[in-house]
Chain A
Amino acid sequence: RIMPVRWSRYNPSYLEPEVKKESYQKPLEELTEEEREQMELKAVRPIKAAPPSLSSSVFSDPMISKFTNMMMKSGNKVLARSLMSQTLEAIKRKQLEKYHKAPENEKETIECNPYVIFHQALKNCQPIIGLSNITRGGKTYQVPVPLTDNRKRFLAMKWLITECRENKHRRTMMPEKLSQELLLAFNNEGPVIKKKHVLHKMAEANRAYAHFRWW
């Protein structure tokens, strides 16, 4: 069914742009059936313009840009971007400190790449199942419900940011707080992971109402 949430200045026939260079250098034989159809469709349909936050350089990562947008307040993208880069720098510094202090055999297990840490931490924070309010016969029940990928990512990022903004000491800087949280989440510790476990336990407790879901 055609049910868009917002209007868009583009005609509905416009397709999303593909920015990564590697996808254009694949030879024809390696593509699957669906990819071939996609390619044919792309050759005929018009394509939307690439947004300013997207670029084909190695440094642009869609998850990082999404996180930066969520951290942004009143459209101050410059500040959000600088906070993000300071966070990644802080993570790298902490990991390098640990690396130089560790004995020889443990040096290989310490992960120094801040992007890898960020992605792994987000993955660890994502809940598998969520709760939704369903009203039946006047009473509202919390029903366990499977979540889509987008929703999981959004919840993980939202929890991280709210955790950093509210539950820390007022004078600490955001990059410090965020890097601390991300490192804890990377090791499956910390308040965000606890929140995820609490949600899972609530869902398990309300298992009896799972049949209320109709979608």
Chain B
Amino acid sequence: TLRLICTTTAVQRKNVGASGPEKYTEAFIKKQIEEFNLGRRHLANMMGEDPETFTQEDIDRAIAYLFPSGLFDKQARPLMKHPTEVFPEQRKIQWGEDGRPFHFLFYTGKQSYYSLMHETYEKLLNVQKHQDQLIAEDLPLQKEKRNLAGSRWLTKIELEEMLLEKVSDDDYSRFIQLLQKLVALPCADIEEKYIQKFSKEVPVQMQKVVIEPLQHDERGVAFSTGEGTRKTARATAVVYDNGTGKITVNGIDILHYFPVLQDREQLLFPFQFLGRIGKHDMVCTVSGGGRSAQAGAIRLASAKALRSFVTEKEVEFMRQAGLLTVDPRVKERKKPGQEGPRRKFTWKKR
């Protein structure tokens, strides 16, 4: 199974809804809601404000005022929230008083999952029927392509929250395959609303980085700075314009500081990619890490500095060449009970 090391907040929430049948009855939740509303009005009266227009923020402020707490954990302090936020949504009991289940697929064990699959397949058949009708009437099929690049499917955990029951990896991948099949058909626009329930927008805005303008030296030479990291090495680079292509690291020429060809190749990589080898001068400072890590850090720093000298299109090309991303690979920690990060101790039979 996939083990996600780099996770988004959507993945980190534990899904309480699917853990089992409900622990709180509906009547209990209703009572909690009534008590909450009464308490809200009492609180508003105590604070001397209007009970009708008492919002959640006012409640939080009032509670923080009336019950000051010095605890560090925010979730341990006194809390007054609407019961639907406090008691997570859980499946109601699926059978009536005579013991008969409500849903016809109850005895499959995964009733919501199978009913979802049936629904999606029904939509697929609808689309195919519509397509056949269009072909029979010799009308052209609509070929508007959905923008696949900007959206992603729901993750397994989000699907579990939607269905309020556990979904296994196999089931999840089958569902995604079915959705992709549905989307691949040309007349899938009919079921656009249904598909949108299962797709989410990926924010494109996160890639907008502000490019700093060029600064000018006392002699009038334009320059710009950039910082880069790799493993444990930290580097800062200052790239000057109108140069001859000299590169100095910590006051030493690169030929003496990096005797290995691979490191010097890495330093020149951004310049060679943009075709500006003889045009810029560079002065960098670097500390920490090893030989290759320092070279990678300076490469990132110089690429970031070069962004100010270059058009937006070329910045996009640099990003697609992998010059502007910070390399997240670091040394894996050693685990207890093993000799190294992966190597286990020698297995002895006795």
Contacts and interface: CB of A to CB of B under 8 A. Distances in A.
B169 interface: yes
Given A41-B149, A49-B325, A78-B260, A2 B6 contact: no
A11 interface: yes
Given A2-B173, A43-B149, A48 B325 contact: yes
A32 interface: no
Interface stretch (B127-135, B186-194, B315-323): B315-323
A162 B322 CA distance: 34
A9 B328 contact: yes
B226 to A, nearest CB: 15
Contacts of A52: 262, 266, 292, 295-296
Given A9-B329, A55-B272, A18 B202 contact: no
A132 interface: no
A56 B325 contact: no
A17 B272 contact: no
B265 A55 contact: yes
Contacts of B3: 7
A163 to B, nearest CB: 27
Contact of A60 (B265, B295, B296, B320): B265
Contacts of A47: 319-320, 322, 325
A49 B261 CA distance: 20
Contact of A17 (B152, B275, B322, B330): B322
A56 B149 contact: no
B106 interface: no
Contacts of B317: 24
A55 to B, nearest CB: 5
Interface of B: 1-6, 8, 147-150, 152, 169, 173, 202, 204, 207, 260-262, 265-266, 268-269, 272-273, 275, 292, 295-296, 300, 316-317, 319-323, 325-330
Interface in A39-69: 40-50, 52-53, 55-57, 59-60
A169 interface: no
Interface string A126-166: 00000000000000000000000000000000000000000
Contact of A50 (B204, B261, B322): B322
A7 B5 CA distance: 8
A125 to B, nearest CB: 26
B10 to A, nearest CB: 12
Contacts of A21: 273, 275
A195 to B, nearest CB: 32
B262 A50 contact: no
A56 B273 contact: yes
Given A56-B269, A60-B265, A81-B262, A44 B321 contact: no
Interface of A: 1-2, 4, 7-13, 17-19, 21, 24, 37, 40-50, 52-53, 55-57, 59-60, 77-78, 81
A56 B328 contact: no
Given A9-B328, A10-B328, A42-B320, 10 more contacts: A2-B1, A7-B5, A9-B6, A11-B4, A18-B320, A37-B148, A44-B150, A55-B269, A57-B268, A81-B262
Given A1-B173, A56-B273, A9 B5 contact: yes
22 contacts: A1-B173, A2-B169, A4-B2, A9-B5, A17-B321, A17-B322, A17-B323, A24-B317, A40-B147, A41-B148, A42-B320, A44-B150, A44-B202, A46-B325, A47-B320, A48-B322, A49-B326, A49-B328, A52-B262, A55-B265, A56-B269, A57-B272
A2 B327 CA distance: 24
Contacts of A37: 148-149
Contacts of A77: 262
Contacts of B296: 52
A122 to B, nearest CB: 22
Contacts of B272: 55-57
Contacts of B295: 52
A44 B319 CA distance: 11
B6 A10 contact: yes
Given A8-B5, A57-B272, A81-B262, A44 B169 contact: no
A40 B147 CA distance: 9
Contacts of B265: 55, 57, 59-60
A60 B261 CA distance: 11
